[in-house]
Amino acid sequence: MMNDSVSFDALDTMDIMDTMPGDKGEPLISVIVPVYNAGKYLEKCIGSVLGQSYEHLELILVNDGSTDGSGELCGSYAERDGRVRLIDQGHQGVSSARNTGLAAARGEYIAFVDSDDWIEAEMLAMLRFLLEDAGADMAVCACYEERADGGQSLIDVGLEENVIDGRGALERVVHGCLPFIALWNKLYRRSLFKGFAFPPGRIHEDVFAAHELAFRCRKVACLPDALYHYVRHVGSISTTTDMHYLDTVAAYCGRYRFLREQGFSEWRRITYHAFSLTYGFARKEFFAGNREEEDYLHSIDVMAGELLRERQEERKTERGSDNDSVCASSPALHKLPFEKTRLPDAMMLWKRTEAYYQERPDAELQELADDTRIIMALLPTSSPERELVMGSGLYGRVKNLVEDLSYCLSHPPASGC
């Protein structure tokens, strides 16, 4: 139950619009659009930003090495409208493009729009009004998902017309509420990004960033009106199934450790489950095709083993037990970096999982399944160790939970899985 809301008087859309002056003395809003080979959608996107009822804005188009003429199209807009600024850079990825836009932004407020999406004409005006009226650091609205078949779905989960604190926003991020995870359906105070940068070279950067940005907020103003149109199509980042899916695995690991550092123990379990599902799916579906991908996959494996070990240590502390017979049998092994002892360390973690279940037969099977899913992903497909795990009584108890990856298949990385 999310009962952290502080309600304010319901606001009629026309009342909001009637109170908003349009003169140039209003605060500048910087709208950042990363662009990479988006020619097919770009004109509608740019037109929707330049057509905002709130006119005192700058549109920062960061051309990230496009090869389809998108850069030239951006340049033509920059020549015709003084509010448009074009920044060209070599192809470095969407996170780098966002960082470039943030560094160049001059506005008091920041908004992101993806180059294949578009926004309603009143979006910036309404979010700016709500943000200032509530004294908030961030304002968020609902959105429509526009599908390739022409269908449209409203995405407003977790949204009511109210003001919540940063903890409430963080709770919604952890629970996978897309309006709070996505970067693009929001208006931010620029000060929120002080000392912050998106991870270079990574996609699904919203999963990396959402928890920290929510945590930085004192207040978040929420509006259930759908003012952003998120275009979902084959080839978009959120539907791409390649090694970049591993970026989401890394993001969940970072989120887990962030929650631990900030003392949010009640939400670490949810994030650990998301990590396990995403890692299990990624390890099952994707295979490295070159040395760079092999190195990244190896780093993710190391991350998975270390996070599992950390979780087991925390679980031991939480239950107030100093007894760890498994570790006692190999006192040095579990202190070594996971990458140095991957196979024996994975089996040690499995023994600890079994030992925990024997000690706590009433333990929730889902968390034991999360442990098991990670261990199975770490073990070579045809190894005797894998066969040993699969033949155990505990695996028989959690097999269906371990092998059910339907949540990941139905929830792309951008929506929190």
Q: What is the pLDDT of residues 279-318, one digit of tens each?
A: 988 887 776 677 787 888 888 888 998 899 889 888 877 6
Please check whether residue 279 lies inside any domain of the structure. Answer: yes
Residues 176 and 297 in one domain: no
- The mean pLDDT of the chain is 83
Q: Which of 81-85, 136-140, 365-369 has the lowest mean pLDDT?
A: 365-369
**192, 208, 239 — which closes off a domain?**
239
- The count of structural domains within the chain is 2
Residues 70 and 117 in one domain: yes
Residues 276 and 262 in one domain: yes
The CA-atom distances, in angstroms, between 306 and each of 14, 80, 241, 325, 349 are 54, 53, 25, 19, 10
Please check whether residue 7 lies inside any domain of the structure. Answer: no
Supply the pLDDT for residue 341: 52
Range list of β-strands (E), 113-218: 118-119, 138-147, 152-155, 162-165, 186-189
Residues 232 and 274 in one domain: no
Residues 207 and 277 in one domain: no
Please check whether residue 4 lies inside any domain of the structure. Answer: no
Please check whether residue 270 lies inside any domain of the structure. Answer: yes
Residues 296 and 369 in one domain: yes
**239, 266, 300 — which closes off a domain?**
239
Residues 33 and 107 in one domain: yes
Please check whether residue 46 lies inside any domain of the structure. Answer: yes
Residue by residue, DSSP assigns 301-332 as HHHHHHHHHHHHHHHHHHTT----HHHHHSTT
Phi-psi region of 378 (alpha: psi -120 to 50; beta: other; left: phi over 0): alpha
Question: Pick from 311, 302, 390, 381: which is nearest to 352 by CA?
Answer: 311
Residues 259 and 333 in one domain: yes
Segments forming the whole domain that contains residue 287: 245-410
pLDDT digits (tens, 9 = 90+) for 319-339: 654 444 433 333 333 444 455
Residues 252 and 225 in one domain: no
Burial of 69 (0-12, 13-18, 19+ CB in 10 A): exposed
> 3-state class of 157 per DSSP?
coil
Spacing of C-alpha 219 from chain mean position = 20
Residues 40 and 156 in one domain: yes
**178, 212, 239 — which closes off a domain?**
239
Residues 193 and 290 in one domain: no
Nearby residues of 102 by Cβ (< 8 Å), 6 or more positions away? 32, 110, 193, 197
Q: At residue 150, what are phi and psi to the nearest 5 degrees?
A: 90, -5
Supply the pLDDT for residue 382: 81
Residues 90 and 187 in one domain: yes
Supply the pLDDT for residue 281: 85
pLDDT digits (tens, 9 = 90+) for 188-232: 999 999 999 999 988 889 999 999 999 999 999 999 999 999 998
Rounded distance between C-alpha atoms, residue 17 and residue 166, angstroms: 27
CB 61 within 8 A of CB 86: yes
Supply the pLDDT for residue 362: 74
